[in-house]
Amino acid sequence: MFRNAAELVEIAENENIKISEVMIRQEMDVKDKTREEVFAQMETNLSVMEKAVEEGLQGVKSHSGLTGGDAVLLQKYLQEKQPLSGELLLDAVSKAVATNEVNAAMGTICATPTAGSAGCVPGTLFAVKNRLHPTREEMIRYLFTAGAFGFVVANNASISGAAGGCQAEVGSAAAMAAAAIVEMAGGTPQQSADAFAITLKNMLGLVCDPVAGLVEVPCVKRNAAGASNAIVSADMALAGVTSRIPCDEVIGAMYRIGRAMPSAHRETAEGGLAATPTGRALEAKIYGIPMKKE
C-alpha cells in the first residue's frame, strides 16, 4: 500500500505502469474485488458526474437563490463569443460550475473528494475529453488517478474544510484533477506529481468561509478557479516544468497551514466572506433572522 506520493510514483515507475493502474491494483487487493467489479463501481460514479454536468448546463437554482444559472451563461458566452482564456479552459470552468450548482440545489453528485469541491475533477474531465477523445476506460482511469492522489492527501493531511480550510477541499480537488489530466495527456507519473504539487501550492492558505454556512458562495466559483488552475498546472508539468518543493512536502505544508488556521476560517461561517456586510445581510435574509452584530 502506498503511503505518500513519492511511493505512488515509485511503484508506477518500477513496474512501468500508470498511476491509475497502481490505484486499481491496490483497490482490488484491499477490497478483495475483481478488476471488473472495481471498474463497474467507478463507472457508476462517472455516470453520476456526467448527469450532474448535464443537469447543471440545463440550468438549476438553489433553494436559497444564491447560486444557479451561471453554467448556462458561460456556455452561451462560449458559443457566441471567443473567450479570452481559451475554449477548453472556459468549458472546464462551466462544467465545474454546473456540478456545484447541482450540488447546491440538493441534486445528486459524486463527492470528489468532497461535495463542496465536486466540480474540479468532472469539470476538467468533460472539457479535456473533447480535445483528447479518450475511451470510456481512459475516462474511468482519470478518476482512479485523481483518486490515488486524493488518497494520499486524505491520509496525510485532510480533505475537510472544517479541519483544513478550502485549500484542503478545492485545493486538493484541483490538484487531483491536474494529476489526472497529465496522465490522460500522456505525461509520466512524475509529471502527474509535479502538476499536483504546482496546483496545490497555488491554493495554499485558501480559507473556508461560506456565506450563511451554505455550500454556495464562494464554493461554486472556487471550483471554477480550481478547474482552471488544474489545467494550467497540467500544461506546465507537461511542458517539463517541475515543482521545486516535492509533492509530499507541499501536502505537509497544507496540513500545517490548516492546523494553524483560526476556526473562524474553517467552515464555521464566522469569518472571511461570510462576515462581510453583504454576507451577513444575505444570511439574515435567508434565515429570516435579525442581523448578527460584528
Which residues are at the interface with another protein (CB under 8 A)?
1, 3, 23, 26-27, 30-31, 41-42, 44-45, 48, 102-116, 118, 121, 143-144, 146-148, 150-151, 154-155, 158-163, 168, 176, 210, 212-216, 263, 266-270, 286-287
Cβ atoms of 257 and 167 within 8 Å: the answer is yes
> How many residues in total does the chain contain?
294
Nearer to another protein, 89 or 212 (CB): 212
What minimum distance in Å lies between the beta carbon of 29 and another protein?
Answer: 11
36 CB-near residues (< 8 Å, 6+ apart): none
What minimum distance in Å lies between the beta carbon of 235 and another protein?
Answer: 23
Q: Cα dihedral angle (233, 143, 170, 80), rounded to 10 degrees?
A: 70
Nearer to another protein, 147 or 187 (CB): 147
Distance CA 107, CA 203 (A): 27
Spatial CA neighbour of 181 closest among 161, 198, 164, 206:
198
Nearer to another protein, 1 or 84 (CB): 1
Nearer to another protein, 121 or 225 (CB): 121
What minimum distance in Å lies between the beta carbon of 93 and another protein?
Answer: 19
Three-state SS at 118: coil
HSE at residue 275, side-chain half, CA atoms within 13 A, is 14
Which DSSP category does 266 fall into? B
Nearer to another protein, 176 or 224 (CB): 176
